[in-house]
Amino acid sequence: MLRVENLSRRFGDLLAVAPANIHIRRHQTTVIMGGSGSGKTTLLRLLAGLEQASSGHIWLDGKHDLSCISQSGLYQLRQRMGMVFQYSALLNSLNVYENVAFPLHEHTQLDESVIRTMVMMKLEQVGMRGFEHLMPSELSGGMAKRVAFARALITDPELVFFDEPTSGLDPISAGVVSSLIHRLGQQTRLTSVVVTHDVEAGLRIADKVILLWQGHVIAEGTAEDIRHSDDPRVRQFIEGNPDGPIPFSRNETPFHEALMAGL
């Protein structure tokens, strides 16, 4: 569905995403994993066309190039996409109900009673029915995330991007959300791209895993491939070892040496 060629993004001197070739297949759940600061969010924003690529192309359905498409063309395509942001990004001036109904109010002529039914169904799915009159400022992080989830799915999109869908959620809600992503993939044939640093949840729902490290793709394959990989960097990441080829700190010189040299 999405084919990425040689895609990269720089912020000044920092190479946030190194030139990457990625293929996201239709009806699959692709999980992008990596430590914090490894460029997961940047990659996701590039895929969604929210960030300008420094190089490369993103082909949607093999015919639309998201990296150089007109604004109106992009808006057209986005009606088929959804996104759950890392910090939910609910519209502050609207309450929960209006937030979830927003895409429908914008792009459909549906009757308000139909919209209400659809919104309530989605809120029920994420366990947020009964909270529809609260404002985003009155929600906890986890509740806001679940509302964002309902909002992203309300238009039944074909392609949904999830940025850390389970972080900040309690274990039960996190479980509900991961199994929801999984179920959606199986039942409604949704194509989802999930960014997470939660290894267990990620491997559980993934049809395909992409492992990022400092902007580079270091491993790619099914959850099984990743579980049984013998790349020491992959092993260190999925086992959560403090020691290994991936340094915990990004600095070149060890801290004790820097300390002796007067920082």
Partner 1 sequence: MRRLLTHIFGAIGRSTLSSLQRTGDATMLSLRALCCFFMPPWQGSHIVRQLYALGVGSLIIIAITGAFTGMVLALQGYYMLAKFGSESLLGSAIALSIIRELGPVLAAFMLIGRAGSSITAEIGIMRVTEQLDALQMMAVNPVGRIIMPRILATVIALPLLVAIFDVVGLAAGYVIGVDLLGVNAGAFIGEMVTKVAMEDLNIGWIKAAGFGLLIGAICTWYGYRAEATTEGVARATTQAVVLSCVSVLVLDYILTSFFL
User: Residues in the site for ligand ADP, rule: CB under 6 A?
Assistant: 11, 14, 16, 34, 36-42
Binding site for partner 1 (CB under 8 A): 45, 48, 50, 71, 75-76, 78-79, 81-83, 85-87, 89-92, 102-103, 106-107, 151
**Interacting residues of 24 by C-beta distance below 8 A, sequence separation 6+:** 1, 2, 3, 4, 30, 47, 191, 193, 208
Backbone angles phi, psi at 210, to 5 degrees: -120, 125
Output the smallest distance, CB 261 to Mg ion, in A. Answer: 33
Choose among partner 1, ligand ADP, Mg ion, none what residue 103 binds, the Cβ cut-off being 5 to 8 Å by kind.
partner 1
Q: Closest by alpha carbon to 101, among 33, 176, 163, 153?
A: 153
Output the smallest distance, CB 91 to partner 1, in A. Answer: 6
| Torsion on CA atoms 59, 60, 62, 63, rounded to nearest 10 | -90
Residue with smallest beta-carbon separation from ligand ADP: 41
Q: Closest by alpha carbon to 212, among 22, 25, 13?
A: 22
Output the smallest distance, CB 218 to ligand ADP, in A. Answer: 13
168: left (phi over 0), alpha (psi -120 to 50) or beta: left
- Which of 79, 236 has the CB closer to partner 1? 79
Q: According to CB under 5 A, which residues from 65 to 104 bind Mg ion?
A: none
CA distances from residue 221 to 37, 203, 226 in whole angstroms, order as listed: 22, 11, 6
Among 8, 28, 41, 191, binds Mg ion (CB under 5 A): 41
Backbone angles phi, psi at 24, to 5 degrees: -110, 115
Output the smallest distance, CB 14 to ligand ADP, in A. Answer: 6
Backbone angles phi, psi at 58, to 5 degrees: -125, 115
Stretch that binds Mg ion, among 41-49, 58-66, 69-77, 248-256 (CB under 5 A): 41-49
Output the smallest distance, CB 55 to partner 1, in A. Answer: 22
Output the smallest distance, CB 154 to partner 1, in A. Answer: 10
- Which of 106, 243 has the CB closer to partner 1? 106
Q: Closest by alpha carbon to 77, among 90, 89, 88, 63?
A: 63
Q: By the criterion CB under 5 A, which residues form the site for Mg ion?
A: 41
